[in-house]
Amino acid sequence: MKNKKLPKVAYFCMEYALDNSFKAYAGGLGILAGDYLKGAKDHDYPVIGIGIKWKQGYSDQFVDKNGKPYDTYHNYEYNFEDTGIEVSVDIRGVEVKCKVWKLDIYGNNAIYLLDTDIPGNNDAWITGQLYGWFGEERVAQEMVLGIGGVRALRKLGIKPDVYHFNEGHALFAGFELMKEKMDKGASFEEAWEKSKNEIVFTTHTPVVQGNESHPIERLMYMGANHGLTEAQLEELGGNPFNMTVGALRLSRKSNAVAQLHGETATKMWAHVDNRSEIVAITNAIHTPTWVADRIFDAMDNDGDLWEAHMENKRELINYVKMRNGIDLKEDVLTIGFARRAVPYKRSDLIFSKYEVIDPLLRDGKLQLIFSGRAHPLDDTGKGIVSNLVKMAKKYPHAVVFLENYDMEIGAKITRGSDVWLNNPRRPKEASGTSGMKASMNGVLNLSVLDGWWPEACNHGENGWQIGNGFESENEKELDTNDRDSLYKVLTTEVVPTYYNDKPKWLNMMKNSINDTREQFAVKRMLEEYFDQLYA
């Protein structure tokens, strides 16, 4: 494919995680987008990013003395290049100006960021907080990203061959592409078909309710309809208007983010007529960002892999000491778990059978390091965080919770843990790239067969599976099945191997690295996007 002239791609996303100082990300979507853009630069693929310059980014989330999470916001200042370009978007019938900044640290694969926080502007608050506020505000942000993003490309003189919408947030870019054609005399149907040929779409959320929707009246009031009638909106996205459905119908091809997720998404959206095909392209990671150099050095130069791992582990232990004042031990099996705090990820599943887990923690056989954060408006998620903090207080020398989960914490835990735990309710994990990071660092996955793990798992050889791929609408039944399997594998395989068979453990570490370092690196993902989605 690289011998052909590659199509130029404009990649639209609400969030980008490039490094820990750039707080324009909330979680996995931004991590993927950042890794994708960095990989495109490394491997010379023509991809540019379109996003928003968030004044306050996402929240910082800390824990008070009572163990309750709270959110703080502050303004970030970044050294972006001023392109000198402004575009405008009509929101609620009022002109909103959007300044265009360039983040050029990645050379030709720049990210262009739109900003409404400029002097004298109407609705300067729109680009204030990532995923902030409620329905109307979200629509306004997405109008800036989509409509403003296409107009910015036009003014910059950039002519993409493909518009890639990473999640449904960018859908209004498709409306702008349609409007350009309708303004030149095309009918709604003609504009839809021609625009569709330019658009591809990545869907992530494998739960229908988690896919964003809006009353059509709201889109009309905000001006997000962009000249389309209520009937035309309904034809695109249904009523209420579902952003994912609209994107599936307005793209020539769509993709899911793991092979299992491809099956899940195809079933989930089977009822949507006139939608694009959904192919499966498994996510991947930017290895220079996430894998410690010493690990690959040891693998490639016949070095001491165990000592390289222990250096990573000591760095994690020192980090925990610095952050929480807790002294963890080098020679104790250490399990890491860092996730967005939502019920389906079951952060506290390992605590659900006291008589099994308590002796392991009290007898010094096991250390658990947790991190995670809830959406600022999600009280249920904050309750999950509070429960983890409570466990850390109950077992002060064996359980740790690191507050304000971010890229730095994610890198420390996926490098320095011995085991990476992942136990979502299958099939609700779309991909789960943190497990890939752990695996390439020689940290062994102990995971439910969900997301990417079914593609890599060789039980007892490069990690372990929890359960047998069991699925059930009955959450109690599913939780019981997975809990029993987790404890069985932990107590009869993971713990005994760690303490009694170090040669096997080391061999599993080598298998883990060898089995994932190319297959789940961003180069493979880029190749598949250009071969299967963009071509």
**CATH number of the domain encompassing residue 189:** 3.40.50.2000
Residues 264 and 294 in one domain: no
Has residue 362 been placed in a domain? yes
3-state secondary structure 316-385: HHHHHHHHHCCCCCCCCEEEEEEEECCHHHCCCHHHCCHHHHHHHHHCCCEEEEEEEECCCCCHHHHHHH
Instruction: Give yes or no for residue 107 having a pLDDT over 60.
Output: no
Residue 259 sits in the same domain as residue 112: yes
Contacts of 376 (CB under 8 A, 6+ apart): 59, 61, 71
Residue 339, token pair as written in the block:
């996730």
Using CA atoms, how far apart are residues 263 and 532, in angstroms rounded to an integer?
17
- Of 505, 483, 510, whose CA–CA distance to 493 is shortest? 505
Calculate the average pLDDT of the chain: 95
Same domain, yes or no: 79 and 226 = yes
* 52: β partners: 114
pLDDT in tens, 32-48: 999 999 999 999 999 99
Are 187 and 303 in a shared domain? no
Phi, psi of 445 (to 5 degrees): -75, 135
d(CA 208, CA 205): 8
Same domain as 254, residue 132? yes
Task: Report pLDDT for 244.
Answer: 97
94-103/399-402 β-pairing: unpaired
The predicted structure's pLDDT at residue 108: 60
Kindly state whether residue 503 falls inside one of the protein's structural domains. Answer: yes
- pLDDT 10s digits, 216-261: 999 999 999 999 999 999 999 999 999 999 999 999 999 999 999 9
3 is a domain residue: no
**Domain co-membership, 212 together with 312:** no
Count of structural domains, the chain: 2
Phi, psi of 330 (to 5 degrees): -65, -35
130 neighbors 24 (Cβ within 8 angstroms): yes
Answer whether 402's CB lies under 8 Å from 318's CB: no
For residues 122 and 264, membership in a common domain is answered with: yes
Query: What single-letter DSSP state applies at residue 284?
Result: -
Instruction: Based on the fold, state whether residues 300 and 266 are members of the same structural domain.
Output: no
Q: Which residues, 6 or more positions from 103, have their beta carbon under 8 angstroms from its beta carbon?
A: 18, 49, 78, 80, 81, 110, 111, 112, 113
Q: What confidence score (pLDDT) does residue 412 get?
A: 98
pLDDT of residue 59: 92
Confidence of residue 106 (pLDDT cuts 50, 70, 90): low
In this model, does residue 301 exceed pLDDT 90? yes
Could you tell me if residue 1 is inside a domain? Answer: no
Does one domain contain both 397 and 264?
no
Backbone angle region of 7, left / alpha / beta, with phi > 0 → left and psi within -120 to 50 → alpha:
beta
* Cα–Cα separations (whole angstroms), residue 155 to 80, 89, 149, 159: 18, 14, 10, 10
Phi, psi of 344 (to 5 degrees): -65, -20
In a domain, 2, yes or no: no
Q: What pLDDT score does 105 carry?
A: 54
0.75 exceeded by pTM:
yes
Q: Give the residue-averaged pLDDT of 410-439.
A: 97
pLDDT tens per residue across span 336-392: 999 999 999 999 999 999 999 999 999 999 999 999 999 998 999 999 999 999 999
Q: What domain range is 318 assigned to?
A: 287-519
- Assigned domain for 56 exists: yes
Same domain, 309 and 190: no
Residue 86 lies in a domain: yes
Q: Which two tokens stand for residue 54?
A: 């968030």
> In this structure, what DSSP letter does residue 96 have?
E
Averaged pLDDT, 196-218: 92
368 and 251 belong to one structural domain: no
| pLDDT higher than threshold 80 for residue 4 | no
Residue 4 lies in a domain: no
Cα(375)–Cα(138) distance, rounded to whole angstroms?
15
Do residues 472 and 376 share a domain?
Answer: yes
